[in-house]
């Protein structure tokens, strides 16, 4: 498991006193507020002390120790911030996205393996899972309870309840309206 996980990306400066606008790569400002230290390198190098985090729309404003003016903040634009997994507390049954990547995707009813999780993105109201198919294809599905039945990263799998077309081309001849039309 990856020890240092992506928390946010610094996108621009905000004001003249070193505050920075960030794009959350974690849940939100409340989650990020829990950390006293973030890291500028993914291996845990270059620790920086967090002075404040607050939401601003879908983004956040971050103040770090030692970043006292706009020039110092500008020098960090484009950088990704990381947190130490050991500093995070998650409710039972919840996982970091990075823990799901590489998990085998299995049919909850039949055990059929569809592929492995390639990525988990959060572009809107629900997560979108991208699966590298066992057949070489790539498939996506929303991480909603109707489809996602079990997450078990410690065992290396997730179980899904797919609908026709989710992991294939959807061409079933036994469905109504898919055969030749009469007359």
Helix/strand/coil (H/E/C) assignment for every residue in 121-165: ECCCCCCEEEEEECCCCEEEEECCCCCEEEEEHHHCEEEECCCCC
Residue 43 token pair: 């291996």
The predicted model scores a pTM of: 0.71
Does domain 4-87 correspond to CATH entry 3.40.50.720?
Answer: no
Q: What is the mean pLDDT of residues 87-115?
A: 90
**Residues 112-149 pLDDT 10s:** 999 999 998 877 778 889 999 988 889 999 889 899 99
Which segments of the chain belong to CATH 2.40.30.60?
Answer: 4-87
Q: What CATH number should be reported for the domain whose range is 97-160? A: 2.30.30.240
Which segments of the chain belong to CATH 2.30.30.240?
Answer: 97-160
């Amino acid at each position: 498991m990856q020890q240092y996980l992506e928390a946010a990306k610094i996108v621009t400066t905000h004001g003249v006193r070193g505050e920075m606008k960030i794009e959350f790569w974690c849940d939100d400002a409340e989650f990020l507020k829990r950390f006293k230290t973030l890291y500028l390198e993914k291996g845990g190098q270059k620790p920086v002390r967090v002075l404040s985090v607050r939401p601003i729309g879908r983004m956040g404003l971050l103040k770090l120790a030692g970043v006292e003016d706009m020039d110092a903040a500008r020098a960090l634009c484009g950088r990704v911030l990381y947190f130490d997994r050991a500093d995070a507390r998650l409710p039972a049954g919840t996982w970091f996205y990075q823990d799901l990547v590489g998990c085998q995707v299995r049919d909850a009813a039949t055990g059929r393996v569809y592929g492995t999780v390639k990525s988990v993105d959060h572009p809107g109201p629900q997560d979108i899972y991208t699966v590298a198919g066992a057949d070489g294809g790539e498939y996506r599905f929303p991480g909603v309870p109707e489809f996602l039945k079990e997450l078990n990263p410690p065992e290396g799998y997730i179980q899904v309840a797919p609908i026709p077309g989710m992991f294939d081309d959807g061409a079933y001849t036994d469905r109504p309206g898919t055969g030749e039309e009469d007359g």
